[in-house]
Amino acid sequence: MTPAQRKAVDYMQSRHLSKTGSPPASWTEVQTLSWQGPVLLDTHVLFDLWVFRDPRVEVLAQRLPGLDWVATPAMLEEWTHVLARGRLPGCPVGATPPEMPWRPRLVAESPRAPWRCRDADDQKFLDTAHALRPAWLWSRDRALLAHRRRALALGVTIETPESGLQRLGWT
């Protein structure tokens, strides 16, 4: 087990202990417990789900109602703004987002996380995940994925949707 995983286990065990009075038995139990927390989906994942209908995340579209998907108003605004710019294949300028079959639980904007994202537009994802930890951020964005190791040590798992789906045994 890497030092980052050990820190994450310790963090998750302390959270579980404070809620239940007993520690989880193993790393597998810690990972299972972790999915009780919120999941954030970055804009790339939303486009894969509802614009491009990417088969790699098809199971996510089916299972999303069972997850605690959270977003801030700024995250949803980014989704609308990126689509309206018309820079995506098959999306003309001024396009409106397709109706999402499910809506996220809206949460307030969060204070700054201890990490700074190279892409200022993506900082809101790190901030919110840090504020809601333990939390999971599914992204394809390299600027967000670059924070995986540091974030894990503080109870935030940043990974691709495929990794998250595999971890849940849904692939």
Is the pLDDT at 159 greater than 80? The verdict is yes
Query: What is the dotted CATH code of the domain comprising 35-167?
Result: 3.40.50
Find tokens 């790339």 and name the residue: 44
Residues 6+ apart with CB under 8 A from 58: none
The residue ranges of every structural domain in the chain are: 35-167
At 141, list the tokens.
């964005």
pTM (predicted TM-score): 0.76
- Segment 38-59, tens digit of pLDDT: 999 999 999 999 888 999 999 9
User: Where does the pLDDT of residue 1 fall: very low under 50, low under 70, confident under 90, or very high at 90 and above?
Assistant: very low
Question: Cα 130 from chain centroid?
Answer: 11
- Segment 144-155, tens digit of pLDDT: 999 999 999 999
User: Where does the pLDDT of residue 34 fall: very low under 50, low under 70, confident under 90, or very high at 90 and above?
Assistant: very low
137 residue type, one letter = L
Question: Please, are residues 39 and 69 in contact by the beta-carbon 8 Å criterion?
Answer: yes
CA dihedral 67, 32, 169, 44 (to 10 degrees): 40
